[in-house]
Amino acid sequence: MGFITAVLQSSARQNNVSVDTLSWEFTVNTMDDKNLLFPPKDGVLIPGLYLEGAGWDKKASCLVEAKPLPLVCPMPSIHFRPVESLKRVSKSEYTVLHTSLCY
């Protein structure tokens, strides 16, 4: 939770906006992590996340039914990008208006 808040604060300072006006835009990376040479200009790229009870279709870039035997499915890296709430209008990306993480 602290890391995600720090990313929001950093972005707010960089763009000279209030933290309260920012929300998240999530883009699942379609490239292999080995081909990534530079970090993203804004936000963070988070590798190593797993899905439980679902699978990920790399070709179609979408969630699929879980396979019968594996308990977890590795996800490609996800780009967590802070955006101003008014500027967020993309339909092909996952968005969250209010973030609350449970541990």
pLDDT at 76: 92
pLDDT at 96: 53
Cite the beta strand spans of 1-103 per DSSP E: 22-28, 44-46, 50-52, 55-57, 62-64, 72-74, 78-84, 94-96
Tell me the pTM.
0.74
Q: Would you write out the chain's pLDDT as a tens digit for each of its 103 residues?
A: 899 899 999 999 999 999 999 999 999 988 887 888 888 888 999 999 999 999 999 889 899 999 988 899 999 999 999 999 866 555 555 555 444 444 3
Tokens found for residue 43: 């936000």
Q: In the block, which residue shows the tokens 């602290």?
A: 2
